[in-house]
A and B are shown apart, each in its own frame.
Chain A
């Protein structure tokens, strides 16, 4: 099969490159992301080893310390920094080079986020904050840890503002026409991020910080958890939407096709904005203090995201099919054979898409009002988000990295690195299938997540779980090899690959597609609906917590 990435990379048109100064800002984010991948991945490897029962941590390091490092670095830092790197490049490429002021705001945001990361990481390393990435009260970490997290969030607002500002500028300069699709998507994702991270910012600034500083004695546990999950579920969509951006706008170009429908792509993003926030209770289904009716309401709202997910699936397969047919495919599924399987920029994100089918099905189980009790806090949940975030999202990001990094550093993806990337994708798939598969299976048997190795005093049930835990260690070790490969490729692409111009592929919309209706960019309307849904889902339960809740809890440091 002809590999298009080599021939195309030579003739990148003027105006289709990211400005050098913006590229530098984007790359700064990606460097932090890759460092997080290395350290967080190492922590993950240690965890699966410990949990297999065959290995103990040296030098008095605790399992939960390692677990905290893994969760924060991979769940929060890798994702957020990579997303910002990609989004900055996407806005710069589609809406135009950032103004000096916007770029400065981007750098300030980067600085604040990095400082916050360093603060939180230091406290975790000093074993002052082994509270896991959910930092559930009343376990009390050092106040510097919470302040660091607040900095990460506030920094992301400053950096996100730069991206939105460039889009607003484009709209001002171009009058009454819809903004570039990819920039529009970036704006939706940032809006969602700002609205949802308000919850965690309130919890950290008004609950955790005063409490850990000793200014107040008590913390309202249920309220802090509710604010956390108000943020925690949209957080996963904040990871997912950039992957969708790549699927909707980049993949069509890579496979030589067109974007199926600009308007439907926008509509599905807006639906994600509406239905990803007022749904945090489906993480709290087994908790006391929240009325069953309100839980059910949020379960219903949770399931609404099925609609944009189906729209996305349709758009992807419609694009695949029309590309295949244009290349002469006949029959029902022949078009699959015409896709560029040898191109890492397509293959790796495609594996991510496939992983999303079982991942999404697992998600439906998690969010189901009653079924949740079977898997709540079992390692099934860990298996689930290793399919969604650590496969669907991360593989799509890796797939993007193979063209994004060389584009930003003025190098090219060589056929050798392409081949190595494909091997990496396969290694990842094998490792994850074993690890996540074992987690799902043993989770159904009742094995808990977030636990150190234990046979629970020789309990018959717990002994049955151990073979699965050994399988997890095998899968996890293979995944670590995958991480090492990715980092090797990244370093090659950033510093050593031959100089040249790698294409930043952005698909065009199908010629005979209808014009995009302007109501899709009526931000006032969409934000109003979003806020209304949030108020509907949260007001009464919150009043309940205020009026009837217990007095609150003092802090504990039990590690």
Chain B
């Protein structure tokens, strides 16, 4: 099949860009570990309240793990539990969340903390909170008539500034 000379150049340039781009994505995923939230942890969604750690939603300091704090969140139509929580600036935090009923979203507006919560599954994401402030945490997947009322608040506090 005949391919025009300029088209060959154009495709070579395009495919090279593509390869470079995918290599960057691949390295950051598999070498630097920057995967999107992909936990394969399962739970019985009808007994969420009785199962650890979801029997005790909130912020927990942990020792001996790769992260300093665990934020445990339970979503249900149309609220998050807890409603408000704070973590110290610069700490490494693992967000652990699940839903008791339908699919919800868990998004901390203005950050890249963003994951789907699906019944029967636990969603997890580890990140360093490096900007102080008050963040709106909202449900970004339609879950019913009260969807837009479904929100909570995360405070990232600089403890040095306070003392």
Chain A contact residues, CB within 8 Å of chain B: 62, 64, 67, 132, 136-139, 221-222, 225, 260-261, 263-264, 267, 284-292, 295-296, 299-300, 303, 306-307, 310-311, 314, 318, 364, 368-370, 372-374, 376-378, 445-454, 456-457, 459-462, 513-514, 517, 544, 548-553, 556, 558-559
Q: Judging by beta carbons under 8 Å apart, are B38 and A295 in contact? A: yes
The verdict on B145 contacting chain A, using a C-beta distance below 8 Å, is: yes
Residues of B within 8 A of A260 (CB): 4
CB closest chain-B residue, reference A372: B36
A284 to B7, CA, bound (A): 34
Q: Judging by beta carbons under 8 Å apart, are A300 and B22 in contact? A: yes
**Contacts A64-B145, A558-B143; A138 near B119 (Cβ below 8 A):** yes
Stretch binding the partner chain, chosen from B53-61, B62-70, B101-109, B155-163:
B101-109
A242 to B134, CA, bound (A): 47
**Contacts A285-B36, A446-B109, A459-B136; A550 near B43 (Cβ below 8 A):** yes
- Total B residues in contact with A, Cβ cutoff 8 Å: 70
**Contacts A286-B116, A373-B112; A558 near B144 (Cβ below 8 A):** yes
The verdict on B128 contacting chain A, using a C-beta distance below 8 Å, is: no
Q: Judging by beta carbons under 8 Å apart, are A450 and B141 in contact? A: yes
A318 to B114, CA, bound (A): 42
Q: Judging by beta carbons under 8 Å apart, are B148 and A136 in contact? A: no
Q: Judging by beta carbons under 8 Å apart, are B40 and A288 in contact? A: yes
19 sampled A-B residue pairs with Cβ under 8 A? A62-B145, A136-B103, A139-B103, A284-B116, A288-B118, A296-B25, A296-B26, A296-B35, A303-B18, A314-B7, A318-B7, A370-B28, A370-B29, A459-B136, A551-B44, A553-B45, A558-B102, A558-B145, A559-B144
CB closest chain-B residue, reference A370: B34
Q: Pick the contact of A377 from B45, B140, B145 — CB < 8 Å?
A: B140
| Residue of A307, A372, A456 with most chain B CB atoms under a 10 A cut-off | A456
Shortest CB-to-CB span from B47 to chain A, Å, is 11
A17 to B5, CA, bound (A): 37
Residues of A within 8 A of B149 (CB): 454
Residues of A within 8 A of B1 (CB): 263-264, 267, 514, 517
The verdict on B71 contacting chain A, using a C-beta distance below 8 Å, is: no
The verdict on B74 contacting chain A, using a C-beta distance below 8 Å, is: no
A452 to B145, CA, bound (A): 9
Shortest CB-to-CB span from B118 to chain A, Å, is 5
